[in-house]
Amino acid sequence: MNEKQLIEAIRKLDEIKPRKEWVVFAKSQIFEDIAERKVLKKSFLAEKMSGVLDVFSVLTHQRKLAYAMATLAFMIAGVFGFAQYTVPGDLLFSVKRATEQSQTVFTGGNNLKNSLENYDRRVQDLVRVVKENRESNIPSAISEAKASMAGAVKSLTVAVTQKNKNIKEIALEIKKIEENKKQLKTLGIDISATEETKELDDALAPLVESEIKDLEEISLTEKQQEEIGVIKELYDNGKFVEALEEILLISN
Amino acid sequence: MDRIREQFSNIYDQYIEKIYRFVYLKVDSREIAEDLTSRVFLKGWEAYKSQKEILNPGAFLYRIASNMVIDHYREKGRTKIVSAENIPHVADPGADPHDMAILSSDVNIVKIAIQKLKKDYQDVIVWYYLDEMPIADMAKIMDKPEGTIRVMLHRGLKELKGIIQES
């Protein structure tokens, strides 16, 4: 290779480029603080406006009031309908979130299930926002996903501590959380709720220890004994989630 | 603040590919390059919004990137730093399969060879031939006379040719 060819080859290294999704995501992370403040300001103004409309409807005549109420009802229905397609960062997203929460209250369901469903919805919102390249929505979507993940992990910790669920159910719920995290990682997004995850780990540790003791007391095949060794290693390294998954496999 | 944000947003758009490529050629791992590059711009943004006077944002970002890579290797314990001029960077083992798909074999050989160069030679070669940075700018970043930069370019290219021939 002569000098000219070498220089040409060096110049061809400009084919090395970063991933477009990562470029968008990294930019949004840098400006996250400022965008969050703008979103908060927008929802505050929206709340003020709805208060003004309430006062106005009271002051009109009854017939006019009836027409106004009917129109308002249609508008609200339209807003709620439209709000279902919004994502974090959109003006009407708070309407969507309120609808989801009220549905939860009316249909019942336990706290853990609701937290996990909420987390799932926020993750899908974030995935959609990144794929559609909606730059201005990314910071809010990330915040919402992080908050919902923290909520899900917290609910799970409570369930583990209060022993509300059996080990299989716990492992399945943890798996759902991890799968969502993986899905986001494929898009170059890493959300972690470090404090909450640590609390969950602290709750899982005695559970895993107890399961290991139970497994050691029963008679196992050679292969299962090997697997116990793997589980113990995971436990010693503080990888309680992975240990739990292995315990589930051995128990089935 | 909006004005400053917009300005830095333009700087980001202008330099993101260049800084990423600069870092990537030193660490040879997409994940690490992404992580370090976003930290470069975060640090740059912190300095920019504190309204420090930054006359040459490109040079400023490259300096941060260069130091970030040194810190990365220092933490990993891969290099023993004696002086800033003689830091050989050893790339993470295994080329990125994505690059192997898009770069021809010749270019891939050159990429691997660049990673074996001394840090300063890597920098000048990437800046001059890839980023088309003027010698004067390089001299400011490295705090060296322009003549020295020209000599480094010549020596860097020669050493690169040697590495390629040996391999």
Query: Comparing C-alpha atoms, which of B99, B104, B95, B116 is closest to residue B161?
Result: B116
Judged against a pLDDT cut of 60, whether residue B101 lies above it is answered with no
Are residues B34 and A18, on separate chains, in Cβ contact within 8 Å?
A: yes
- For residue range A111-164, list pLDDT tens digits in order: 777 888 888 888 888 888 888 888 888 888 888 888 888 888 888 888 777 766
Q: Does B86 touch chain A (CB under 8 A)?
A: no
Are residues A22 and B33, on separate chains, in Cβ contact within 8 Å?
A: no
Does the domain at B2-166 match CATH 3.20.190.10? Answer given as no
> Which DSSP symbol is given to A84?
T
Helix axes of B30-49 and A20-30: crossing angle, nearest 10 degrees: 30
Judged against a pLDDT cut of 50, whether residue B80 lies above it is answered with no
Q: What does the alpha-carbon distance between residue B73 and residue B29 come to, in Å, rounded to a whole number?
A: 13
Q: Residues of A with CB below 8 A from B11's CB? A: none
- For residue range B90-99, list pLDDT tens digits in order: 444 444 555 5
Residue A212, domain member (yes or no): no
Question: What is the distance, to the nearest Å, from the Cα of residue A147 to the centroid of all Cα atoms in its chain?
Answer: 7
Question: What is the distance, to the nearest Å, from the Cα of residue A188 to the centroid of all Cα atoms in its chain?
Answer: 15
- For residue range A58-95, list pLDDT tens digits in order: 666 677 778 888 888 888 888 887 788 888 888 888 88
Q: Residues of B with CB below 8 A from A27's CB? A: 9, 12, 16, 41
Residue A41, domain member (yes or no): yes
Residue A208, domain member (yes or no): no
Q: From the candidates B31, B34, B104, B126, which should be mutated to test the interface with A, based on the most A CB atoms within 10 A? A: B34
A163: phi > 0 → left, psi -120 to 50 → alpha, else beta; which?
Answer: left
Residues paired with B88 in a beta bridge:
B118
**Alpha carbon distances (Å) from B87 to A9, B23, B35, B81, B117:** 24, 15, 21, 6, 9
Which distant-in-sequence residues (6+ apart) come within 8 Å of B130 by Cβ?
A10, A11, A13, A14, B18, B21
Buried/exposed code over A159-182 (b: 16+ C-beta within 10 A; e: otherwise): bbeeeebebeebbebbeebeebbe
The confidence score (pLDDT) of residue A164 equals 63
Are residues B38 and A26, on separate chains, in Cβ contact within 8 Å?
A: yes
Nearest CA distance, A159 vs chain B (angstrom):
35
Rg (CA), chain A: 25
**Alpha carbon distances (Å) from A62 to A68, A70, A172:** 9, 12, 56
Please say whether the beta carbons of A86 and A43 come within 8 A.
no
The confidence score (pLDDT) of residue A224 equals 80
Query: Comparing C-alpha atoms, which of A122, A137, A117 is closest to residue A25?
Result: A137
Q: When comparing pLDDT for B27 and B41, which is higher?
A: B41
Q: What does the alpha-carbon distance between residue A31 and residue A29 come to, in Å, rounded to a whole number?
A: 5
The confidence score (pLDDT) of residue B144 equals 92
Which distant-in-sequence residues (6+ apart) come within 8 Å of B158 by Cβ?
none
3-state SS, A105-140, equals HHHCCCHHHHHHHHHHHHHHHHHHHHHCCCHHHHHH
Q: Does B114 touch chain A (CB under 8 A)?
A: yes
Task: Give the residue on B whose Cα is nearest the Cα of A25.
Answer: B38
Which distant-in-sequence residues (6+ apart) come within 8 Å of A150 by Cβ?
A193, A195, A196
**Mean of the per-residue pLDDT values of chain A:** 79
Give me the sign of the Cα torsion angle B100, B101, B102, B106: positive
Q: What does the alpha-carbon distance between residue A193 and residue A76 come to, in Å, rounded to a whole number?
A: 36
Which distant-in-sequence residues (6+ apart) come within 8 Å of B106 by Cβ?
A1, A5, A9
**Of the partner residues A3, A23, A31, the one whose CB lies closest to the CB of residue B157:** A3
Residue A183 sits at φ, ψ, to 5 deg, of -60, -40
Nearest 10 degrees: CA dihedral of A222, A226, A229, A230?
Answer: -150
Per the structure, the complete domain to which residue A113 belongs is given by: 3-192
- For residue range B115-155, list pLDDT tens digits in order: 899 989 999 999 999 999 999 999 988 989 999 999 999 99
Looking at chain B, list the stretches that DSSP marks H as alpha helix, in order from N- to C-terminal side.
2-27, 30-49, 57-76, 97-102, 105-114, 119-125, 135-142, 146-166
Judged against a pLDDT cut of 50, whether residue B55 lies above it is answered with yes
Please say whether the beta carbons of B20 and A18 come within 8 A.
yes
- For residue range A15-73, list pLDDT tens digits in order: 889 999 999 999 988 887 555 555 655 655 566 666 666 666 666 667 777 888 888 88
Please say whether the beta carbons of A8 and B130 come within 8 A.
no
Residue A238, domain member (yes or no): no
Highest mean pLDDT among A22-26, A179-183, B73-77: A22-26
Q: What does the alpha-carbon distance between residue B69 and residue B66 come to, in Å, rounded to a whole number?
A: 5
Give the DSSP H/E element, type plus range, for residue A3.
helix A3-11
| Residue pairs spanning A and B at CB distance below 8 A | 87
Mean pLDDT of A3-9: 88
Domains in chain A: how many in total? 1
Residue ranges per structural domain of chain B: 2-166
Residues paired with B118 in a beta bridge:
B88
Q: Residues of B with CB below 8 A from A12's CB? A: 103-104, 107, 110
Task: Give the residue on B whose Cα is nearest the Cα of A16.
Answer: B21
